[in-house]
Amino acid sequence: MKKISDIPESDRPRERLQQKGAEALSDLELMAILLGKGTVRHDVLYIAKRVVKTLDVDGSRPDLKELQAIEGVGPAKATLIAAALEFARRRIRPEGLRISSPPAVLPVIRHYADRKQEHFLCISLNGANEVIASRVVSVGLVNRTQVHPREVFADPITDRATAIIVAHNHPSGCLKPSKEDMQVTRQLKSAGEILGICLLDHIIFTGKGYYSFSEDGKI
């Protein structure tokens, strides 16, 4: 991974935000700005990467002790991150967003498009197809072992969701579903029918586009 010092000044996170706006930055770059600086041993981008990885698991309410376990993140930075996430959660919430078509869910998930590993996400929906919550189910290659129905449906059951949309990024940039993607989709559809929670779609996405199982008639 490049260090801040290796990046031309005009392409560094702060400068890019000033030139192009916050929405143009990756999660890693935004976190680097929040952290401010690194340590003698680790560059700020390295620390930011570890924080983002932790947040992918913990969601919008991170454990302060886990954050402080990351070298370079002390009490001050940990509380700053937690406060920033809570402020954003209160102000800009996906809850209530109505999903009328596959592209409508992209704003909820697109910030995972730049991840170097596949992130499998589950979006819980109510009877009006409004978002209840969006969560990371697993990180790594998508297969039936990691993406088991019990893991996918555990939170939607608690949410009293009537439907879900699942999605995962393809770091390769290819939008074509793999054999494993097809198998996982069939398994989740069958499990949802038993539970009374409809699988509306499985979306594969990259920074440049998406593939919808629903649009392709595969669900």
pLDDT digits (tens, 9 = 90+) for 98-143: 999 988 999 889 889 988 889 999 999 999 999 998 999 998 876 6
Report pLDDT digits (tens) over 12-41. 999 999 999 998 888 999 999 999 988 888
207: how many CB neighbours lie within 10 A of its CB? 12
- Based on the domain organization, do 133 and 51 belong to the same domain? no
Predicted TM-score of the model (pTM):
0.70
- Which of 47, 68, 91 terminates a domain? The answer is 91
- Which of 41, 65, 91 terminates a domain? The answer is 91
Checking DSSP bridges between strand 119-125 and strand 210-212, what pairing results, if any?
unpaired
Residue 68, pLDDT > 70, answer: yes
Report pLDDT digits (tens) over 175-213. 999 999 999 999 999 999 999 999 999 999 999 999 999
Q: Which residues contact 60 (CB under 8 A, 6 or more apart)?
A: 85, 86, 88, 89
The pLDDT, as a whole number, for residue 144 is 54
- Based on the domain organization, do 198 and 143 belong to the same domain? yes
Range of the domain at 134: 102-212
